Structure formats: C-alpha cells, structure tokens
A and B are shown apart, each in its own frame.
Chain A
Amino acid sequence: MIKLDKNKFGFLNNNLVLLSMIIALISFPFLSYAGGASMHSPIEQFVVKKIFEIQDPFFGYDISFTNASLFMVLASIVPLLILTMGVRYAEMIPGKLQSISEMLFEFVENLLIENTGNAGRPYFSFIFTLFLLILFGNLLGMLPYSYTFTSQIIITFFMAIIIFISVTVIGIFRHGFGFLSLFLPSGTPLVLQPLLFVIELISYCIRPISLSVRLFANMLAGHTLLKVFGGLAVMLIGSGSVFLMPIAILPIGAIIGMTALEVLVAVLQAYVFTVLTCIYLNDALNLHH
C-alpha cells in the first residue's frame, strides 16, 4: 500500500493560490480584450465556436465539438478528478482534497434528505452529478479566456426539461391518478376548484422555463456586466489622456468587486438549481399539501 505523500499537493499552498487569484483578477480586463479591436461587443464572449467539425452521418446534423462542449467535458472531468483523488487514499484525519470531496458529498446529501426525506435517497447520484456539473460549469466560466456553458439557454433548458419530465413520470408511477391532487390543494371550495386547477397546472408547466431562465439569465447578466466594465477600463486607458487614464482604476476596482460577487452567484445558482430540483422531486414523491 502506497502512502500518499502530503506534500504532493503542496501546490495548494495558500499564498500561491491567493497570489494567482489577485493576478487573475487584475489581468482580467486586459486579458479579455487582448483578442483585438474586433472584440468590442459585450456579448461576443457567448459565441459558440467550433473546435473541430463532426457531421452526423445519418441525418446530416451539425454535431461539431465546440467550446461549449469542451467546457462541459471539463466540468465533468474536474469534479471527477477532485473526488477520485480526494478519496483514493482516505484517512481518518482527512487532508485538503479529501475534506473538499467529503464536504461536497455531505452538503448535497443533507440538502436532498432535508427536502425530500428518505424517499429521495435513490435519486442522490443524479442530484449530486447535477450540482457538480452546474457548479463547475459556473466556476470554470469565471476564469479568463474560458467559456460559460450555463450561459446558453438551450443547455440549461435541456437540463430543466429532463428534470421536469422525469419528476412528472416519477410522480405518475408512484401515485397514478392521485398525482393530479398536486394541482388541487385540499380544502378548496367547489366553486374555485376549476379555476385553481388551471392556475396550478400552468404554474407547474412553467417550472422548466423559470428554472432554466434563472440560471441562464444570472450567468448572462453577470458576465456581460464584467465585460462592460472591462471595456470601460480599456477605453479609458487607451484614450491616452493624462486626466482620463487614472480614472480607469474605478472600473478595475468595480471588476474586482463584481468578480467576487460573480463567484458567489455561481455557487448560489448551482445551489438554487439543486434545491429547486429537490423541491420538485419532493412534490412528486410525497403528495401532501
């Protein structure tokens, strides 16, 4: 049995991480505009670019490997690596990586059990995967030169519609026609029942849209805001005027603050997406209003 050398992960040294974060934050506006004068639109960063082309041989669809696909692959591999490396040489007193992986696991487990009770336990692996994919998609998107695949409505909508359909199917399998009582809170007067049924049905069917647009809009708005302020800083520095150039410190400071906020939003949106999935799952599993 090979014992894991603790110093192997010495690159996680606090000072080094802090230093690289500061460098990344300060260089963000310059790096992101290094592409040239053509990159002036703040939504240019959301363009999907092909890395290599693949044609679907059967139907002729374009299924090229794009930068969005690349970051989806990365967002699947990075948490996998962290978790595998973390628990590979598990010890009684966990190291850094083991603590991180155990914290992630326990966090999502508590979340699921709090919201759905023991009935939700079989769905843990799906919820955990979903959380990690969105979390690392959002966080990897915060790095300069990277791409946020959660800022594409089609990707978030597809995640949401899969959750919506599977939750509905789970509900129907478990309760049969009794599942329809989800749309009718108990104790409703007979006169109000048809109206309330329609309202509840609409609010149920709007769920995938609100779930996907929430994540997508947050990512889109945050990254656009960063780019707008980055453009402002570059314009002020590029003006060449002695009076305007020192003012550029203001948007750069704003970017540093907003980057911190965006990291918070990235984690928060992954959390919210997961919590809402758990709540929807709870509606289907435990039918009590």
Chain B
Amino acid sequence: METEAAKLIAAGLAVAPLLGAAVGLGVLFSGIVNSMARNPSMSGELRAIAFLYFALVEATGLFGLVVAFLILFAF
C-alpha cells in the first residue's frame, strides 16, 4: 500500500522536468517571434529553425515523462 503511494508520488515528481521544457519552449518561441518582427524577410528560415529546436527542447521534457512511465509500469 505504502509502496503504491510512493510510486504514484514519485511518478508525479518525475514529470516536473516538463515545467522546464515549457519555459524553454516559451523562451524559444518568444525569440523567434521577436526575430520575425525585426526581420520579416527571414521568416521562412526562422520557422524551419524554430521547428527543429522545438523538437529538441520538447524532447528534454519527455525524458522526464519516460522516467515517470518507467516508475509507474516497469517496477
């Protein structure tokens, strides 16, 4: 019973990195929007870069999610 509860708490704590990913995505997109506003002729290239880094940043949060799944289902 207590192990079950501890498992759930641990899984909840393990998704905390998603907060960092959210902050990172906010910073990334604010930078992209700023640059697009300053130089609209670069929009196409900037969008391609934004999508690449969106995937890279998002992945760091998902590592935490994978740890949560491991705690919940693998043990």
Contact = CB atoms under 8 A, between A and B. Distances in A.
Interface of A: 43, 210, 213-214, 216-218, 220-221, 224, 265, 268-269, 271-272, 275
A210 B55 CA distance: 12
Given A43-B69, A43-B73, A221 B54 contact: no
Contacts of A275: 52
Given A217-B59, A218-B58, A272 B66 contact: no
A214 B55 CA distance: 9
Interface of B: 51-52, 54-56, 58-59, 62-63, 65-66, 69, 73
Contacts of A216: 66
Contacts, number: 40
B55 A268 contact: yes
A1 to B, nearest CB: 40
Given A217-B59, A272-B56, 19 more contacts: A43-B69, A43-B73, A213-B66, A214-B55, A214-B56, A214-B59, A217-B62, A217-B65, A217-B66, A218-B62, A220-B62, A220-B66, A221-B62, A221-B65, A268-B51, A268-B54, A269-B55, A271-B55, A275-B52
B73 to A, nearest CB: 6
Contacts of A43: 69, 73
Given A217-B62, A218-B62, A221-B62, A272 B55 contact: yes
B51 A218 contact: no
18 contacts: A43-B69, A213-B59, A213-B66, A214-B56, A214-B59, A214-B62, A216-B66, A217-B63, A217-B66, A218-B58, A218-B59, A220-B62, A220-B66, A220-B69, A221-B62, A221-B66, A272-B56, A275-B52
